[in-house]
Amino acid sequence: MADRVAGQTPTDYLQELILETDDVEEFLNEFAAFSANQLFDRTGGVLCGVTLLRSRRAGTVASSSPEAKALDEIQYRHTDGPCLTACVEHRTVHVADVATDERWPDYLSDISQHGVQSILGVPFDLEAGTMAALNVYSMQNGGFDEESIRTAEGFVRQTSKALMLSVRLAQHSDSVSNLKAAMKSRTAIDIAIGIIMAQNRCSQQEAFNILKSVSSSRNRKVRDIAASVVASIGQGEPETHFEA
């Protein structure tokens, strides 16, 4: 997807990204790249990854680059660190200076060898049993000021709903690797089905039948109905409620 156009807000970009990407993994990779290149562009030298923690197993489901994924793997090897703490404790964790921070000394010593000087972990708001966080690595000391932290927190909140629905659709997966496979090829229709499932507390098949029924009654394509449902997630709680 092209870079965000001048004057387009992060919210506008997020809605456009959801509608234009063909699967959830692509969406999250684009989100990670956007975070690195746009949200934190003034800090320079920033890499981003998205960690998913399920059944006590952590894995990177998206990254802005292979280097970002490699940095995430360092934290998993240590089984602790700022981003995993953000996941588990559901709070933003900020390491302003890797060289002086006294938390996780072994991990910070290791990560510093890769040029990382400051780290930010921002948790996604997901359902119980599933935890995730945006991991941001800066090659500058003090790479994240208060404004950039608030921006990251706000954008992650907006993205949480899309990620939560994706996880809901892949509940049968038992591992991060299986989840990644299940998350592929999730179109706007699939995400819309997840929204309807959450609103109506119904099965996936029932949600799809509702979507088809609305499409028929309104004489509009299922894809168009799904797009309108997905677009609503950037406006707080979805405003479109369908009944069977």
For the segment 156-205, what is each residue's pLDDT rounded down to a tens digit? 887 777 666 655 554 434 445 555 544 443 456 777 787 888 777 888 88
Q: Strands, DSSP E only, in 55-187? A: 57-63, 93-95, 118-123, 130-138
Query: Considering all CA atoms of the chain, what is the largest pairwise distance in Å, rounded to the nearest integer?
Result: 63
CA dist., res. 38 & res. 58, Å (int) = 26
Q: Is the pLDDT of residue 14 over 90?
A: no
Place of tokens 């970002």: 68
Task: Give the tokens for residue 3.
Answer: 């870079």
pLDDT band at 75 (very low <50, low <70, confident <90, very high): very high
Picking from 25, 61, 65, the residue whose alpha carbon sits closest to that of residue 48 is: 65
pTM (2 d.p.): 0.63
Task: Give the tokens for residue 102.
Answer: 């006294």
CB 179 within 8 A of CB 173: yes
State residue 9's pLDDT score. Answer: 59
Task: Give the tokens for residue 173.
Answer: 């997966």
CB 162 within 8 A of CB 27: yes
State residue 182's pLDDT score. Answer: 45
Q: Is the pLDDT of residue 236 over 60?
A: no
The whole-chain average pLDDT of the chain stands at 76
- Highest mean pLDDT pick, 30-39, 174-183, 211-220: 211-220
Sheet holding 46-54, edge to edge: 57-63, 46-54, 130-138, 118-123, 93-95
pLDDT band at 106 (very low <50, low <70, confident <90, very high): very high
Q: Is the pLDDT of residue 6 over 60?
A: no
Picking from 156, 143, 215, the residue whose alpha carbon sits closest to that of residue 34 is: 156
State residue 235's pLDDT score. Answer: 40
